[in-house]
Amino acid sequence: MTATVIGAAYQFSLLWLVLLCIPILITIFDVSARIGHETHQGLVELLREQYGMWLGVVCAVLIVLINMAMIVADSVAVTDAMSIVLGEKRQVFIVLVSFVVWYILIFRDYRRIVRFMVWAAMPLFAYVVSAVISGPDLKILAQGVLFPRVAPTPDYAAAILGIFGSLLTPYLLVWQTSSRREMATHGPVQMGSAEHRFGGMITILLSFCIIVSAASVLHLTSPTDMSTSDAAKALTPAVGGLGSILFAVGIIGSGFVALPILVASMCYSVAEAFGWNYGLSEHPWEAKRFYVMISFSMLFAAAANLVGVNPVKLLYLSQVLAGVLAIPILVFILLLSNDRRVMRTTNSRWQNFWIGAASGGLLATGGMVLFLKLFT
């Protein structure tokens, strides 16, 4: 959704940033997975132990606020998509979506189910075809890739944060370390890292193609106010009238992959901040507070879904905020991964460079947004 908004609003001018995220994403996934594997602890848990409980609690609160916004937005998007496919009102599917996510996390092996749901998200690859046949101006596209341009406006700076927030989401960084803690005895870290490298590359490919397709097809005066149906129109060049259906099926599949990770990582962060027992490998009676949080978060998402919000706008704004939250999280990852008191191995020079570059770039962008909002 964020890539669709950015493509519709800024055409090809931010494609350079998507490609720049490739080495950053690979590096951060590798380093955060290594932290979880070597320490057998989650990121917020390490923050609490190394820098004090107050910092862990503050980080957890920020993650809860951003994750809950994403959970509500994703839930609305999935119910909207079900409405498109099945022709019923969106409200009919609210309880079903919340129950399925809750059931997956509490009673079923999430990782096995995700392997199936990933296939349901495959229709989104139609964006690759759509990007090719939508007739983009290749000269302007090449300029967007090869010649970075930064417009000194708060909206443009927010779009930069949104791209980082969608690709380097704090919930994924928390998930990387916390889930690795649970899998630490099940194999080498390289296996999980290769999986996440591949997943990251696919995400970047899709983001690139969605931006190209949206820039070529969508011409909206206010892109953040677009509906789920509007976003589906970017697939029209590839599949014509089937665009809405394929888009909806893809959103359902990707939503059921993302929602459990969003919920679990949020609950991980709170449990780690307060030192509670937690983990999807634990039985509900062994980690009661952790599973109560999962249940409460899905009840809240269902209630918020009843109110009715624009999922595109909420998701975009939440990922801009996620880009802001990524700044301190990347700094902490950099500090922890180079601390010999915590880690057996430390980062390479290039790993430090890319994490430092991402942190500095986001900090500068966040500062630009603040400055422009205050003084223009």
pLDDT for residue 280: 78
d(CA 324, CA 166): 11
Domains in the chain: ranges and CATH: 2-375 (1.20.1740.10)
pLDDT for residue 309: 74
Could you tell me which of 269, 260, 322, 202 has the C-alpha nearest to residue 74?
260
The answer to whether 48 and 272 have CB atoms below 8 angstroms apart is yes
The answer to whether 159 and 10 have CB atoms below 8 angstroms apart is yes
Could you tell me which of 163, 198, 192 has the C-alpha nearest to residue 178?
192
pLDDT tens for the chain, 376 residues: list them. Answer: 788 888 888 888 888 888 888 888 888 888 887 887 788 888 888 888 888 888 889 888 888 888 888 898 888 888 888 888 888 888 889 899 999 899 888 876 666 666 665 666 666 677 777 777 777 778 888 888 888 777 777 888 888 888 888 887 766 777 667 665 555 544 554 545 566 667 777 788 888 888 888 888 776 666 667 777 777 776 666 666 666 777 788 888 888 888 888 898 889 889 988 988 888 778 778 888 999 999 999 999 899 888 767 778 888 888 888 888 888 888 888 888 888 887 787 777 777 777 777 777 777 777 777 666 655 6
Could you tell me which of 244, 265, 317, 323 has the C-alpha nearest to residue 73?
317
Question: Among positive and negative, which fits the CA dihedral 335, 336, 342, 346?
Answer: negative
d(CA 53, CA 51): 7
d(CA 355, CA 194): 19
DSSP annotation string for 317-331:
HHHHHHHHHHHHHHH
d(CA 356, CA 265): 24
The answer to whether 151 and 158 have CB atoms below 8 angstroms apart is no
Instruction: List all residues 6 or more positions away from 69 whose beta carbon is below 8 Å from its beta carbon.
Output: 314, 315, 317, 318, 321
d(CA 2, CA 166): 7
Structure letter (DSSP) for residue 344: S
d(CA 326, CA 181): 21
Which parts of 22-165 are beta strand (E)? none
pLDDT for residue 180: 59
pLDDT for residue 295: 92
How many CB atoms are closer than 10 A to CB 221? 7
pLDDT digits (tens, 9 = 90+) for 124-176: 677 777 777 777 778 888 888 888 777 777 888 888 888 888 887 766 777 66
d(CA 13, CA 308): 32
Could you tell me which of 199, 143, 152 has the C-alpha nearest to residue 16?
143
Question: Among positive and negative, which fits the CA dihedral 151, 155, 158, 162?
Answer: negative
pLDDT for residue 373: 65
**pTM given for the model:** 0.82
* Cα angle value 213/27/58 (rounded, 5°): 95
Structure letter (DSSP) for residue 362: H
pLDDT for residue 296: 93
User: Any long-range contacts for 26-29 (C-beta under 8 Å, 24+ apart)?
Assistant: 26/197, 26/200, 26/201, 27/350, 27/351, 27/354, 27/355, 28/168, 28/173, 28/330, 28/333, 28/354, 28/355, 28/358, 29/176, 29/193, 29/196, 29/197, 29/200
At which residue do the structure tokens 């996510």 appear?
Answer: 101
